[in-house]
């Protein structure tokens, strides 16, 4: 395994956990003149707990020439074959790109925390593709990806 890093989605945890707690307290103590009904409480709780469990962490694994991205408890997974890696670059994503899985003009962004990401440009089926992976340590991820590119060039020259 060339690289493995998990990062915690603190924004999601710090934002949704208090909402879930307040929702539970509002139901238990029947706050307000029109308290929340049980069915609505259950539906909203399931949505918020589901979002929290799906996006509470992002694990990035580089194994050979396959980059795996695993969100949260593992229900959302993506595999990218990077056999024809062209280049990588460290970029700073604008704040409005947000967190999670986003479509941007530079390609899809897979991010869970922070403004730094590694942009990956590669060829697949003769077509150039690119995407970005947010990382708290973009230098290490870029270095691991660049080793793939060097390895591919060495194989090509032989």
Whether 5 is covered by a domain: the verdict is: no
Does 150 have pLDDT greater than 90?
no
Percent of the chain with pLDDT over 70: 94
Q: Which domain holds residue 132?
A: 81-157
Whether 29 is covered by a domain: the verdict is: no
- Provide the mean pLDDT of the chain: 90
Q: Which residue has the tokens 């969100």?
A: 71
Whether 64 is covered by a domain: the verdict is: no
Whether 54 is covered by a domain: the verdict is: no
- Residue 89 has phi, psi (to 5 degrees) of -150, 145
Q: Residue 150 in contact with residue 124, Cβ under 8 Å? A: no
Does 41 have pLDDT greater than 90?
yes
Whether 126 is covered by a domain: the verdict is: yes
The answer to whether the pTM exceeds 0.95 is no
Provide the domain count of the chain: 1
Does 26 have pLDDT greater than 90?
yes
């Amino acid at each position: 395994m060339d690289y493995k890093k998990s990062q915690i989605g603190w924004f999601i945890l710090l934002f949704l956990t208090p909402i879930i707690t307040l929702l539970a307290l509002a139901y238990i103590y029947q706050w307000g003149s029109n308290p929340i009904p049980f069915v609505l409480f259950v539906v909203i709780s399931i949505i918020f707990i589901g979002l929290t469990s799906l996006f509470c962490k992002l694990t990035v694994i580089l194994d050979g020439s396959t980059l795996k991205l695993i969100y949260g408890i593992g229900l959302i997974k993506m595999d990218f074959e990077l056999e024809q890696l062209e280049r990588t670059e460290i970029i700073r994503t604008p704040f409005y790109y947000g967190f999670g899985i986003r479509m941007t003009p530079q390609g899809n962004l897979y991010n869970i925390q922070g403004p730094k990401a590694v942009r990956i440009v590669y060829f697949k089926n003769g077509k150039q593709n690119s995407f970005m992976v947010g990382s708290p340590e973009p230098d290490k991820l870029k270095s691991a990806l660049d080793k793939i590119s060097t390895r591919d060039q060495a194989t090509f020259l032989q």
